[in-house]
Amino acid sequence: MDKIFLHEVGMRDGLQVEQQIVPTEKKIEWIKELMQTGVDIIQIGSFVHPVKVPTMADTDELFRYFSKPENKKSDTVLSGLVLNEKGLDRGMDAGVEMFCMGVSASETHSKKNTGMTTDEALDRIIPMAKNALSAGKQVQVSVQSAFGCGFEGAIAKERVIYIVEKYLQNGILNISLADTAGHANPIQVEDMITSIYSINPEAKLSCHFHDTYGMGIANCFMAYKHGVKYFESAFAGLGGCPFTAKASGNVCTEDLVNMFNKFGLRKDIDLKKILEIAKEAEEFFARELPSKVLKVGILEH
């Protein structure tokens, strides 16, 4: 079986909705521990306004810290989310290795999240992506609310395809389909992915599912079955978009790794270490988090 790649987003998507601020020192500790697990990419923050998302106020500081070789003893790629040109400039200055940026297929979500319509956001994101690529950075663009919207409900597949085609026409192949509201179901995932690959089989698709209705892992399996090799998840199932109607957690990294382990994949990733980090998160936030494997343990046989 082909290798799959894991993009750990707990430090950004996982923490952005929390009311309790995680101190920078604790974030550095968790990031270093995540690097030791063997995941491929870690998203450590977003370059947003600190008043709107105070949990991300130290993103510049985190990237500057890990841009020093003595602080990053790992090949793990560090990614950061940007929404606009100012964020891109900040990320360039702070040493981001991989830029993540996107456009929502939902007009309502787009306006709440960025203050722009979908087309306005596209007109800004595509040049930003090209600029980052020209600077030698890795870039991933996304379609948010790709499988439904907490405000608008169902989102027409054609609207998602419209955004994807815009990316592809501009030579941007690394595309994430983000289930921002957690409305996706496996049949819908199958239809969307096969449709995109039929347009361009060279597209490098990533999937980012939330587990609102308990179908996150099933959606990951369906995506994998139809050729997706890149997956985004959060340790302990933390997270959710603060600009959607009902924020819900991401697919748990440890649950996803456990599933892929059963397929004979990514046994190089230290699942026990991820569980230790998830347990630390439970203790820090003083509540039970939705990780299944954390509750019942690893099935060894």
Phi, psi (deg, nearest 5) at residue 43: -90, 115
From CA 168, how far away is CA 179, in angstroms rounded?
20
From CA 251, how far away is CA 220, in angstroms rounded?
9
With residue 46 as reference, give the H or E element that holds it: strand 41-47
Q: Which residues, in sequence order, are CB contacts of 262 under 8 Å at separation 6+?
A: none
| Catalytic positions | 241
Phi-psi region of 240 (alpha: psi -120 to 50; beta: other; left: phi over 0): left
By the 10 Å C-beta count (0-12 exposed, 13-18 middle, 19+ buried), 7 is classed as: buried
From CA 118, how far away is CA 64, in angstroms rounded?
32
